[in-house]
Amino acid sequence: MEILNKKERVSAFLLFLLMFLVTMTLIFVAVFFSHKLPWKENEVLRAENKKIKFEFLYQKQFINDLARVDVLIDSLDKTNEGYFFLEQSINSDLISIKNEIPKDSLGNRAMYENLILTYKKLIDAKRDVKQVQNAKNEIQELDEQIDEYEDRIKNLETALELSRRLNRN
């Protein structure tokens, strides 16, 4: 016993199989393109991630450089002589740090420059405080000299008064 419509059944099955494959391909393509081909997006995200990593590494280096400058600034308070040389050394370090700031690869270059300017203002303020302190010490020494001279003048006036009295007698 053989099937009478064997050819029609086979052709219907092949047509069903073809339609099934076309439908599945369409569904797969629709799902694939609905995710907007994430390769481009991944490339952009990788580039952005690389930029952020570079900025983090630069921030660490920048902080280490500023820590070295901090040590020099703290030593400004302790030195009495060579203050000008130490200040110029700190300024040259700040200039070299400023020149090392990348021009285009950082998101906020102005922040780094403002930090350097703040350090420069701190150095200037310390210099002003040192000058005021030196002036205060000088004023104190001059006050002591004035007191000493006033005592001498009183002693001389007393001696003069005694000599005038002796001359009258």
User: Tens digits of per-residue pLDDT, 86-104?
Assistant: 888 888 999 999 888 888 7
Q: Are residues 14 and 89 in the same domain?
A: no
Q: How many CB atoms neighbour CB 90 within 10 A?
A: 23
Provide the mean pLDDT of the chain. Answer: 88
pLDDT, tens digit, for every residue of 16-69?
999 999 999 999 988 887 776 677 788 889 999 998 898 899 889 999 999 999
Q: Are residues 92 and 114 in the same domain?
A: yes
With both helix axes pointing from N to C terminus, report the angle between 38-78 and 83-99 in degrees, rounded to the nearest 10. 180
Q: Are residues 30 and 97 in the same domain?
A: no
What is the pLDDT, as a whole number, of residue 138? 92
> Distance (Å, rounded) from C-alpha 24 to C-alpha 19?
8
Is the pTM higher than 0.75? The answer reads no
pLDDT reading at 111 higher than 80: yes
Domain region containing 15: 1-35
How many domains would you assign to the chain? 2
Q: Are residues 115 and 156 in the same domain?
A: yes
Percentage of residues of the chain with pLDDT beyond 90:
40
What is the pLDDT, as a whole number, of residue 1? 65
Q: Are residues 48 and 96 in the same domain?
A: yes
> Distance (Å, rounded) from C-alpha 25 to C-alpha 36?
17
